[in-house]
Structure 1
């Protein structure tokens, strides 16, 4: 052992053996709101104002949603919609957050306490005492007594989720047959996405995958994205002997060429990955996996139903065409499709 180690080792051992003194609880700092009811009322009004600001922010977000509707291709409309909704929702969240923090720092008890640890399950008597403590805390915090704070907080909490409800409601279909009908019609040619070039059956080799849209979609000027989100299709050719086709749908394919909706039946993500050896289609969002060779049934993941199949055929010129629209709704199954 070196001289340095010898000189420091005894002291180190002594320091380790010394018990650490209990620092205790820091002295309580008296706040102005503890000493003056006038300051307490002022703080109460400030908190109510912050909750009111939250309500105003929610109203601004709702106003921005309707005042600046998003128009396909109009970047200014999208920018204004995002700006006012973002500002409004941020103001709403900050209003609630600052109001709650200011309430806790100025009016709620801030004394530090030290309590003994008890067993997890207390006796009925202890639980009754705990209930009395909760009632006491309610009285000390002023939640029941300070009506201005309580009512303004209720208002802020009532308005706060409304912008989110409106936004989420606009993300998908609300009522009617929104996803039961797409652009696919009898005789509509299958074309490549995004070029819009029609696809011949002879162009589709075994193992190849085509991302497909209906003919005419690429030339649309309005509602193009909405229609594409419903009508997008994956076209794959497999060995006909590998297909386990439903006899009732045997004429929906052509010489091993099958077409299925590209929209995952879980939450609507694009199913874009194909594994040729297993004939599995994979959704990259939540790993829902569909067996292409067996009616695209779900073999893994959270999706609840198979991908809808598009009936296809070949026209006189050899181009692939749709026999009809999908015969069931496409996309996520968050409603009862049997209705």
Structure 2
């Protein structure tokens, strides 16, 4: 008896001429009206709830300003999880203000804005002009349906909450100053002084001019940032140490002296092709060190400002508007690189009073 049997296809009993029937359009379910759509009392209650959220957001923003000026940074009386009073107060008040504005806007959209079903057919990415006009008309109609114009309580409290939220941003600008007030002298000068040695960043070892190889880029710092009994520099602490370290950061490069185009009065600022510039980008103050040896260009990684180190660090590309400040170099009796003086111009990003220096 033969076992050679080929089973029939599963759907062989379906007539070949039969076609699949289209799925019927299920349509839209019956619209369910919200309480605020049919009950004027519920609508007014929702308005008051939304307005209350915006008012509380304004109060919270004002409390942020109060906490900013009344609580000192480092005031560490016990709070949640050991965080200081200033940190806790600023975080909670600003967070609550933002949260209430967001929740209020969501509440407005869910309870008071028009609640209708809309069907939009797919269309090409570039719509005909008449469709664009229709879209603008629909948006304007949506704004009218939102009822902002006829709900002054919601409109005014929402605008007030967003406006008052600007207060924290304004007072935070106070922290951009290096002290209690904006001390221009602190911005115009760094810790560099005549005869101060250049040292390698992190390790603090002085840099022999003879050891700088052609094409090298060395991240360096002032010797004063590494105080010892031998060099006699005072030890800095806390914010002052960080400020001076940031302002004094430099890059040191050696290139063929013939490739260098000296700026006016800078022909004696280099040592055998060794040239030094501030490490701080003049755009917004990012640290730079991406060096292209063949072109002598250095790139800021933040916004791609590019400076030509062979030509007084002039800007060749990007948003920076000023060259990198150059540090005048010399060598001491032991052959180590030293500064002739401080930078002759403020380092870092521009500020309004800079031209007065």
- For normalisation by structure 1, the TM-score amounts to 0.80
Q: Which residue of 1 aligns with 2:350?
A: 333
**Quick one: structure 1 residues 62 and 9, their matched pair in 2 at CA, closer, same or farther if it must change by over 3 Å?**
farther
Residue correspondence of structure 1 range 1-339 to structure 2 within 5 A: 3-4=8-9, 7=12, 14-15=19-20, 18-19=21-22, 21-67=24-70, 70=73, 81-114=86-119, 119-121=128-130, 130=137, 134=140, 140-167=145-172, 170-171=175-176, 176=184, 178-218=186-226, 219-222=235-238, 223-246=240-263, 248-333=265-350, 335=352, 338=355
Query: Structure 1 stretch 297-306 or stretch 154-163: which is displaced more?
Result: 297-306
TM-score by length of 2: 0.76
Q: Which has the larger radius of gyration?
A: 2
SS at match of 2:188: coil
Q: Distance in 1 between matches of 2:9 and 2:99?
A: 57
Unaligned runs of 5+ in 1: none
Deviations 1:53-108 (A, max 9, x none): 3223423443454455556xxxx998655544333332222211110111111112
Q: Distance in 1 between matches of 2:163 and 2:274?
A: 53
Task: Note if contact 1:196-1:216 (Cα within 8 Å) is conserved in structure 2.
Answer: no
Q: Which runs of 5+ in 2 are unaligned?
A: 1-6, 227-234
More helix by proportion, 1 or 2? 1
C-alpha displacement of 1:158:
0.7
Check 1:240–1:79 CA distance in 2 against 1; reply closer, same or farther (3 A cut): farther
Tell me the matched-pair count: 329
Distance of aligned partners of 1:234 and 1:10 in 2 relative to their CA distance in 1, 3 Å threshold: farther
| Displacement of 1:157 | 0.4
Look up the match of 2:3: none
Q: 1:272, 1:281 within 8 Å by CA — same for their partners in 2?
A: yes
Q: Structure 1 stretch 294-303 or stretch 256-265: which is displaced more?
A: 294-303
Residues 182-191 or 80-89, more deviating: 80-89
1:13 deviates by 8.1
- Separation in structure 2 between the aligned mates of residue 185 and residue 301 of structure 1, nearest angstrom: 31
1:139-193 per-residue CA deviation (whole Å, 9 max, x = no partner) reads 6433233222122112210122333344456347778455322222233332332
| SS of equivalent residue, structure 2 residue 268 | helix
| Distance in 2 separating the partners of 1:175 and 1:306 | 23
Aligned counterparts of 2:13 and 2:92: Cα–Cα separation in 1? 61
SS, match of residue 92 in structure 1: helix
Residues in 2 aligned to 1:261 and 1:66: alpha-carbon distance in whole angstroms:
35
Q: How many Å separate the matches in 2 of 1:28 and 1:310?
A: 74
CA root-mean-square deviation: 3.8
Q: State the distance in 1 between where 2:27 and 2:144 align.
A: 27
Q: CA separation of 1:253/1:206 partners in 2, compared to 1, >3 Å: closer, same or farther?
A: same
SS for the counterpart of 1:97 is helix
1:11/1:295 CA distance change after superposition, 3 Å: farther
1:266-300 CA-to-partner distances (Å, cap 9, x unmatched) read 22111122233332222222332222222222233
CA distance in 2, matches of 1:262, 1:217: 15
CA contact (8 A) 1:291 1:297 kept: yes
